[in-house]
Amino acid sequence: MVASFVRIPSISVFENANSAVDFMPTELLHDSLYDTLSKFPVLVGRLRKGDNGFLSVAVDKYDLNMPEFKEIYCDTHYDELAEANFSTKCLPNWDSTSSAFATGRRVDEIKLASVQIVRLQDNSGRMSHNDLMVTLITVAMAQCAIPPLTNEFDELQQPVTLGLLGTVAKRVRHSVDAVTTEFVQQFADGVHSSRDCYLRPIVCGPKHPMKILTTNHTRLGYYENNFGFGAPAWVCPPEGLFPNFIVMLPAPPNKDGYNIFINAPTDILDRVKAHEYWSSMTEFVN
């Protein structure tokens, strides 16, 4: 018999056998959690301690105790776990909040359910086009910077390999996934709080050689704009829009790939053009 105050967390490991791009998307998992909660509403209740010392679960539809839902990425490969027969010693470390005993909180604040998704390396679908392009740009710009970037950028100075690209792509994905609703709201509040709050980070910040602004518009239908005289033959950003600014746009309908516009000092652009790895997969238009 297991005491009622003990909970037993479980870990499920899923294999992306077919390298599916949309392998177990977060939205699907999140919706599945809500579906489960609708069938087991006790999981959104709060513990209540009676005068007799017994605990009960009270569910208030106006004050739900929503489960924790977190998602992180790790360096552990799925193959590493499989080769070790999924030994717990090989499991990645993460900030798990699902222990056997609920401690360190007030009784009514204890979560009755906790879900944490840990994305294994090379097991969450193929690298997205956005992550790949930002990775290539990041490595090329870092290696062509004048003077060369140091400290935390030392790794980017290594020869370009699939391993290096994978490492940088993972960081790109971490940065994108770190943008939450609260982060956007705080940024919006900051923009409207002061007249120059928006201009300072955009105009002044990127002047530093270690800061690059990158925006991806490849999924927008620029070439679908038609006012009755046909689609545009070319789409590009204004020249010199911001310093150290990179814009990724879709290519015209008769071209493959993407158009990438880089606004940087001339000496850095010359080094980018001469960069062997970058040049091997790009074509300079103008």
- Tens digits of residue pLDDT in 28-86: 888 989 999 999 999 999 888 777 777 788 899 899 999 888 888 777 888 887 787 76
| Residue labelled with tokens 């909180």 | 105
pTM, two decimals, is 0.45
CA angle 119, 181, 27 (to 5 degrees): 45
Give the per-residue pLDDT at 11: 72
The residue length of the chain stands at 286
- Indicate the DSSP class of residue 215: E
Q: Which residue has the tokens 């493959």?
A: 256
The pLDDT of residue 41: 92
**Residue limits of CATH 3.30.559.10 in the chain:** 129-280
* Dihedral angle of Cα 154, 142, 125, 86, to the nearest 10 degrees: 0
Residue 268 has φ and ψ, to the nearest 5°, of -70, -40
Instruction: Quickly tell me which residue has 């790790």 as its tokens.
Output: 74
Instruction: Please give the pLDDT value at position 37.
Output: 92
How would you classify residue 229: left for phi > 0, otherwise alpha for psi between -120 and 50, otherwise beta? alpha
| Residue found by looking up tokens 């935390």 in the block | 152
Pairing status of strand 55-58 against strand 46-49: antiparallel
pLDDT value, residue 93: 66
Q: List, as one string, the DSSP characters of 50-83.
A: -TTS-EEEE--TTS--PPEEEEEEEEEEHHHHHH
Ranges of the chain whose pLDDT falls below 50: 1-6, 100, 104, 149, 203, 206
* Residue 188, φ and ψ in degrees, nearest 5: -65, -40
Residue 141: exposure state from Cβ atoms within 10 A (0-12, 13-18, ≥19)? buried
Q: Hey, which residues does 122 pair with through a beta bridge? A: none
Closest CA to 6 of 150, 90, 147, 103: 103
For 129-280, CATH number? 3.30.559.10
Instruction: State the residue for tokens 């390298």.
Output: 19
Instruction: Give residue 264's pLDDT.
Output: 81
